[in-house]
Amino acid sequence: MKKNDDNLNLLLLQFMDEAQAQRFQDDLSVADDLYDSHPAEPVSPNTVSAISTQIQHELKRRHIWTIAEWCTAAAAVVVMALLAGLFLLNSSPSANQLPAGGFQTANAQIWSDTPIANAIETDPIEQELSALTKDIQSMSLDAYGSTNALTVDLLEIEEIEAFAEDTSFWKG
């Protein structure tokens, strides 16, 4: 096998003396002869053919991917154009839009400190709170002020007394 070592001697002389360089070249030539006289078996034609087929498949797959990529890119451009068109169409002033003044008035009423705004925000909550307070007060009256409550108290006392008399429960 031809070697690409045209200036080998010059190269070797940069690193070693002439005798060493000569020995190096002799050893190298023996090694090369060894490889030349013991050639590796050639690759089988079936293997080459199988690799070739594999590369053809890869090439086809690459073509398909290229086409798919182009289609995707084209579709993406169309979608982007449509979206841009829709955006432009909606952003231009039209009769369908709500008058800007309406929103501004509502916002002003809600966020300002004027009495009107306070009334809007707090009136229903205050009403609800006062109704709840009334309910709680009436329930308290029921618990302590009615005859039903007295009945419950008496029953509880009787139960405690019965429990105190029956002390055999812990004997099994």
Partner 1 sequence: MQHELENLIKNCKKGDPEAFNELLNRYSNRCYGYFFRLTKRTDLSEDLLSDLFIRVFRKISSYNEGSFDKWIFSVASNLFRDYLRRHYRQKRLLEEKAELIRQKDNGCKTRPEIFDQLDLALAKLDPETAEIITLRYYSQLSFKELAELRDEPIGTTLSKVHRGVKKLRHVMENS
Contacting residues toward partner 1, per CB under 8 A: 1-6, 8, 11-12, 15, 24, 27-28, 30-32, 34-35, 38-44, 47-48, 50-52, 54-56, 58-59, 62-63
Structure-token pair, residue 165:
């008399």
Helix H or strand E encompassing 139: helix 115-145
**CA dist 88 → 74, 92, 100, 133, 167 (Å):** 21, 6, 19, 56, 89
From the list 34, 29, 30, the residue with the least C-alpha distance to 8 is 29
Contact 143, 149 (CB under 8 A): yes
Q: Compare residues 11 and 76 and give the one whose CB is closer to partner 1.
A: 11
Whole-angstrom Cα distance, residue 19 to residue 6?
A: 19
Whole-angstrom Cα distance, residue 3 to residue 9?
A: 13
Q: In whole angstroms, how close is the CB of 60 to partner 1 at the nearest point?
A: 9
**CA dist 171 → 2, 40, 164, 165, 166 (Å):** 111, 101, 15, 14, 11
